[in-house]
């Protein structure tokens, strides 16, 4: 037989076997639901569930979903504390109870296999298992399998949700893709509440045992799941539940906004109290001000994390200041060293970091108050002016307007521009660049001579901006948003496009090639 023909026969057999498996599984489910004498056929589904073929496993998962969701709706699974299977067979149970106990054990077996499949190497199997387990959770919510605890959790299947969360928060496998599939289930208020509780419990078990070690894969999975959890701002928004509870059960925590905020807060605090990788610090701090702090019941509890993040240094310190400012400005937190820390972040490297635009936008916001002491305004203006001497042109186009805005907000700081001195007297600048405390840097004793120096800069736009210091500044502040994001490449590209004059390429126009004159070409080259 030719090789191509062999392949076609093999392919046909494979397609036939797959189709047969699909028909068999559908028949198995149908027969089990039609007659209890076929109950043992459930093991055929479990056999397919452990197959090595992706299609067979996915079809077996769908069969499990159809079978056990139907059994849950019919209340044909044993309710209450489940006895051992051997005890049920030998005990004083009637045929009905024995069947219900048998199928309840098979349901538990199925759930365990599906939980294992959440770590399957194939994403299609993981996704199908997750969707099936969430259907089981919804079915258990409507038809509880355990005695109800009306005092707190009611009929919600919190143990199943905890098991699902534990498997998604793997310590060895990146589950970002599976977690992204789980986001749609977080739209349900009760699911979101118990997922937050489960995350908190999982962090307590895993991170506390790690003894401070950084666990990048696990922490990435936790952050990926937590970063897409948000809490409604109003109690009236809590209306979309997976498990409907009776109106009389008003003590259910999952239905209270305050409990959601408390659980959200404890979840994040439990995660952030452990050591994180530097890239994780950045991810948390970028979203902290609008995705975490507004949903917390007591945002001031983040002060320890923010101060620790600032001490890390670099870009992490820049991002931490935004959260600190929110706590100071909106939550009346006393943080006397805030402006001192902000002042110390002004270093030459500030013009070369990824978050440069974000930092200066925030710094402009932090220094917008007209009630700031004059020595602080003078210290920031002077330090920025000194840094401007070595800054790239693109940075100077927003640093100079930044300094001008400070002067406009605080007219008393104009003394830095008009500093009286003797014309023939050579003065040393009293400003102490290396001083960490803006109150001790002696900025008010100095002047902004650096801006005068920049009037001889090589870039014409910088010269134009620096020349404004010679005139009376207008009362209207400059809009920094237009220049904060500009790069050196964009600056050069803009200059090339807007330039209408010819650019000289020679100092002296060449009249002939390799002329025997006194020019450099004639001295070193000849036509002989």
The reported pLDDT for the residue numbered 7 is 42
% of the chain surpassing 70 pLDDT: 85
Given pLDDT bands bounded at 50, 70 and 90, which one contains residue 479? Answer: confident
Question: Which of 354-358, 409-413, 516-520 is predicted least confidently?
Answer: 516-520
Q: Quick one: CA torsion of 507, 512, 513, 518, rounded to 10 degrees?
A: -60
Given pLDDT bands bounded at 50, 70 and 90, which one contains residue 330? Answer: confident
Average pLDDT, integer, range 283-310: 89
Average pLDDT, integer, range 61-78: 95
The reported pLDDT for the residue numbered 500 is 55
CA–CA separation, 289 vs 303, rounded Å?
13
The reported pLDDT for the residue numbered 278 is 83
Which CB contacts under 8 angstroms, 24+ apart, belong to 275-281? 275/212, 275/213, 275/214, 276/214, 276/219, 277/214, 277/216, 277/219, 278/312, 278/316, 280/216, 280/219, 280/220, 280/223, 281/309, 281/312, 281/316, 281/319
| pLDDT tens profile 482-506 | 788 888 788 877 777 765 566 556 5
Average pLDDT, integer, range 464-487: 87
Given pLDDT bands bounded at 50, 70 and 90, which one contains residue 288? Answer: very high
Question: Which of 238-242, 265-269, 400-404, 406-410 is predicted least confidently?
Answer: 238-242
The reported pLDDT for the residue numbered 71 is 96
The reported pLDDT for the residue numbered 8 is 45
The reported pLDDT for the residue numbered 1 is 45
| pLDDT tens profile 424-437 | 454 688 999 999 99
On the question of pLDDT at 264 being above 90, the answer is yes
On the question of pLDDT at 144 being above 90, the answer is no
The reported pLDDT for the residue numbered 248 is 43
**pLDDT higher at 524 or 9:** 524
Coil, helix or strand at residue 390:
coil
On the question of pLDDT at 107 being above 90, the answer is yes
Q: What is the mean pLDDT of the chain?
A: 85
CA–CA separation, 199 vs 266, rounded Å?
10
The reported pLDDT for the residue numbered 505 is 60
Given pLDDT bands bounded at 50, 70 and 90, which one contains residue 422? Answer: very low
CA–CA separation, 426 vs 247, rounded Å?
84
Coil, helix or strand at residue 279:
helix
| pLDDT tens profile 17-50 | 444 445 488 899 999 999 999 999 999 999 999 9
On the question of pLDDT at 525 being above 80, the answer is no
On the question of pLDDT at 508 being above 70, the answer is no
The reported pLDDT for the residue numbered 3 is 43
**In the chain, count of helices (H) and strands (E)?**
22, 0
Return the closest-CA partner of residue 143 out of 183, 107, 95, 117.
Answer: 107
């Amino acid at each position: 037989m030719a090789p191509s023909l062999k392949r076609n026969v093999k392919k046909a057999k494979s397609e036939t076997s797959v189709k047969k498996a699909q028909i068999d599984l559908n028949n198995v489910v149908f027969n089990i639901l039609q007659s209890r004498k076929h109950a043992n056929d459930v093991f055929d589904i479990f056999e397919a569930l452990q197959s090595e073929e992706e299609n067979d496993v996915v079809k077996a998962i769908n069969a499990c979903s159809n079978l056990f969701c139907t059994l849950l709706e019919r209340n044909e699974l044993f309710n209450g504390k489940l006895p051992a299977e051997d005890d049920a067979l030998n005990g004083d149970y009637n045929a009905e109870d024995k069947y219900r106990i048998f199928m309840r054990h098979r349901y538990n077996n199925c759930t365990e296999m599906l939980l294992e499949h959440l770590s399957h190497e194939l994403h299609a199997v993981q996704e199908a298992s997750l969707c099936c387990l969430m259907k089981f959770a919804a079915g258990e919510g409507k038809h509880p399998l355990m005695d109800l605890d009306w005092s707190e959790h009611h009929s919600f299947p919190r143990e199943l949700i905890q098991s699902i969360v534990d498997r998604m928060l793997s310590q060895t496998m990146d589950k970002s893709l599976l977690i992204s599939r789980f986001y749609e289930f977080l739209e349900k208020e009760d699911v979101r509440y118990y997922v937050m509780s489960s995350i908190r419990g999982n962090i307590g078990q895993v991170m506390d045992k790690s003894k401070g070690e950084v666990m990048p894969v696990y922490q990435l999975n936790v952050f990926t799941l937590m970063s897409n959890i948000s809490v409604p701002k109003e109690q009236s928004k809590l209306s979309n539940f997976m498990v409907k509870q009776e109106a009389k059960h008003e003590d259910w925590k999952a239905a209270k906004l305050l409990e959601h905020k408390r659980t959200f807060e404890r979840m994040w605090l439990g995660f952030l109290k452990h050591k994180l990788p530097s890239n994780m610090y950045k991810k948390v701090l970028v979203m902290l001000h609008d995705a975490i702090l507004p949903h917390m019941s007591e945002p001031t509890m983040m002060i320890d994390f923010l101060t620790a993040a600032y001490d890390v240094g670099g870009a992490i310190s820049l991002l931490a200041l935004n959260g600190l400012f929110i706590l100071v400005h909106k939550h009346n937190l006393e943080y006397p060293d805030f402006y001192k820390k902000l002042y110390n972040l002004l270093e030459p490297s500030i013009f070369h970091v990824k978050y440069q635009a974000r930092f200066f936008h925030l710094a402009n916001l932090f220094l917008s108050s007209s009630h700031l002491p004059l020595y602080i305004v003078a210290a920031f203006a002077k330090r920025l002016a000194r840094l401007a001497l070595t800054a790239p042109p693109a940075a100077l186009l927003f640093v100079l307007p930044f300094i001008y805005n400070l002067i406009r907000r605080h007219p008393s700081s104009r003394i830095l521009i008009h500093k009286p001195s003797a014309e023939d007297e050579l003065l040393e600048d009293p400003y102490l660049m290396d001083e960490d405390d803006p109150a001790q840097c002696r900025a008010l004793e100095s002047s902004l001579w650096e801006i005068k120096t920049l009037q001889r800069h090589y870039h014409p736009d910088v010269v134009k901006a620096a020349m404004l210091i010679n005139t009376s500044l207008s009362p209207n502040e400059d809009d920094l948003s237009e220049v904060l994001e500009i790069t050196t490449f964009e600056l050069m590209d803009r200059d090339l496009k807007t330039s209408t004059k010819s650019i000289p390429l020679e100092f002296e126009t060449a009249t002939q090639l390799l002329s025997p004159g006194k020019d450099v070409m004639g001295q070193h080259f000849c036509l002989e």
